[in-house]
Amino acid sequence: MLFSTKAEYGVRLMVELGRQPGSQPVSLGSVAEAERLPLSYLEHLVAKLRKAGLVDSTRGAHGGYRLAKPAEEITMDAVVEALEGQIAPMECFHDTPEGKVLCSHEADGDHACSTKLLWMRVQGGVNKALAGTTLAELVEFSTESAPTRAAAIGSAA
């Protein structure tokens, strides 16, 4: 599997928050019940989302979580990266702060890294899919009717 259930659960959590109409916070317990996921495990995941600035929290009674930004402005690359850590196809890949991509094999060798072309393409494909999908799309997708749903899938592939 490319991603673990951390991404799955976390995205479902975000969608659930995105479904709420008002701006009043929704408790993690109700999210856990709605999605039938273990509450104590969700606590770990939502902590990562909060540290990444994707959700806001209010403590105490009647507290809970809400989206830190409108759903249209939240893209899935930020969500998945917050949950799974840096997304790279291979361990030798790491982004520099300037947005470049480095392959650690290239430093110590004279000839080119034979796999770099492949992993660059994979990373490009994944990035395009994640960055091109907003939370608002998923919220809408999960509530609309089945026939219209089929058409949506290809639109950012």
Partner DNA sequence: GCATAACCGACCGCTTCGGTAGGATTTAGA
Partner DNA sequence: TCTAAATCCTACCGAAGCGGTCGGTTATGC
Residues of this chain that bind a copy of itself (CB under 8 A): 1-3, 5, 7-8, 11-12, 15, 76, 87-92, 111-118, 120-122, 124-126, 128-130, 132-133, 137-139, 141-144, 146, 149, 152-154, 156-157
Query: How far is 135 from 132, CA to CA, in rounded Å?
Result: 10
Rounded Cα distance, 83 and 67, in Å: 16
Question: Pick from a copy of itself, DNA, none: which does 74 bind, CB < 5 to 8 A by kind?
Answer: none
Q: Quick check: helix, strand or coil at residue 39?
A: helix
Of residues 58 and 142, the one with the C-beta less far from a copy of itself: 142
Q: Which does 44 bind (CB under 5 to 8 A by kind): DNA, a copy of itself, none?
A: DNA
Q: How far is the CB of 94 from a copy of itself (least distance, A)?
A: 10
Burial class (CB in 10 A: 0-12, 13-18, 19+), 110: exposed
Binding site for DNA (CB under 7 A): 4-6, 9, 25, 27-29, 37-38, 40-41, 43-44, 46-47, 50, 57-65, 84, 91
21 binds, among a copy of itself, DNA, none (CB under 5 to 8 A by kind): none
The full length of the chain comes to 157
**Residue 136 C-beta: closest distance to a copy of itself, Å:** 12
89, 119 contact by CB (below 8 A): yes
Least Å distance, CB 115 to DNA, is: 13
CB 59 within 8 A of CB 93: no
- Name the token pair of 31: 């999210």
First-to-last alpha carbon distance for the chain, in angstroms, is 19
| 47 or 156: CB nearest DNA | 47
